[in-house]
Structure 1
Amino acid sequence: MATTALQHALTEPGPDLRPLPPRAEALLRDLNAPPRLAAHLRAVHDVAHQILDWLDHDHGNVAADREAVLFGAATHDIGKTIHVDELSGPGSAHEKAGHHLLLAHGVEERLARFARTHAAWTEPGITLEDLLVGLADKVWKAKRVPDLEQRVVDHLAEASGQEAWQAFLDLDDLLTGIAVDADRRLAFQSVYPIT
């Protein structure tokens, strides 16, 4: 049974945040997720939407699994339902725990993997989709990570045939624009309690 605070975190209009995919929202309700986690996931999911819309509009020849990225953004930190202390402090135990939790709830690997890959962009086999979820998880709060961004640029340049410098400028423009609303997203998240 979802608490009132969780219900609000999942449904409040907030700073024009899109709703989570129904399957992700149902998981958060079933797990009685901390309201702050739900608010965070909505913010990251919304930023992932913005990134994907930009890809579709400006880099339509770059293929990305939209469903996977959006579900991944909406559930990447779901392991924090178990490791609640990582909502307010550092830690990575939620990554493996979240991956196992999603698999245990019948989520297929292609969607569950983001719980363990969203902070592992230097690992072998990381895809553009993994990078995009990691990117959304950083830029939602205006955090810029040059190594992560460079990896996205490399994927964009390779997939599109575009010069790397142009891909960098395009991505930088997008992320600068997204970062402008970070304070509103952070304020939305901070309204909700951790427990």
Structure 2
Amino acid sequence: MALQLIAAIVELCPVLRFDREEVLFGAAIYDVGKTIHPDELSQPGSRHEQAGYELLVESGVEYRLARFAANHGTWTAPDISTEDLLVSLADKIWKAKRVPDLEDRLIQRICDMTGENRWQVFMNLDDVLDRLAQGADARLAFQNQYPVAAKG
């Protein structure tokens, strides 16, 4: 999903600057903490976020990259990067979950960097996200065929 989102964002807004490799890395590792908290594979929870960050740092991953594990569930920090927003958005749109606050932050970032009209950016991004969200039911149904139960 992150790869598709990046391609769509680049097409939508070619002047928006962000590190594509960082987004792809973040999208690949953001849920690694669920190896420590496997119950959060099948049910909501946020314990995996800090656990994943600590696991990555202890394994030698740079703090600047390990952060994706810790912050993919929140995007309200004033210094949140475009890369962080894109990783969080890819996570949400994979399951067709639309999060207005997250989307608004990305829209504002695009407008701030490009000077484009907010309404136009909103409409364009909305179309992109609707397109990317298609197929979420099938993705989730496939995932649910393999439930994970924590061993006692």
User: Which TM-score bucket, shorter chain as reference?
Assistant: over 0.9
What is the Cα deviation at residue 51 of structure 1?
Answer: 1.0
Equivalent residue for 1:105?
A: 59
Q: Which amino acid aligns with 1:186?
A: L
CA contact (8 A) 1:77 1:115 kept: yes
Q: What is the alpha-carbon distance in structure 2 between the residues aligned to residue 88 and residue 178 of structure 1?
A: 23
Runs (4+) off by over 4 Å: none
What is the Cα deviation at residue 87 of structure 1?
Answer: 1.3
Q: 1:86 aligns with which of 22, 34, 40?
A: 40
What is the Cα deviation at residue 110 of structure 1?
Answer: 2.1
Please give the TM-score of this superposition, normalised by the length of structure 1. Answer: 0.73
SS of equivalent to 2:78: coil
What is the Cα deviation at residue 188 of structure 1?
Answer: 2.6
Q: What is the alpha-carbon distance in structure 2 between the residues aligned to residue 192 and residue 67 of structure 1?
A: 30
SS of equivalent to 1:178: helix
Q: 2:20 aligns with which of 46, 66, 72?
A: 66
SS of equivalent to 1:113: helix
Q: 2:110 aligns with which of 148, 156, 159?
A: 156
What is the Cα deviation at residue 76 of structure 1?
Answer: 0.6
Please give the TM-score of this superposition, normalised by the length of structure 2. Answer: 0.92
What is the Cα deviation at residue 192 of structure 1?
Answer: 2.7
Report how many aligned residue pairs link the two structures. 149
Question: Following superposition of structure 1 onto structure 2, how do residues 10-159 of structure 1 map, counting pairs within 5 Å?
Answer: 47-159=1-113
List runs of 5+ in structure 1 lacking aligned partners.
Answer: 1-46
List runs of 5+ in structure 2 lacking aligned partners.
Answer: none
| Per-residue CA distance 1:134-176 (angstroms, 9 max, x = gap) | 1111111111011110001001111122111111111100000
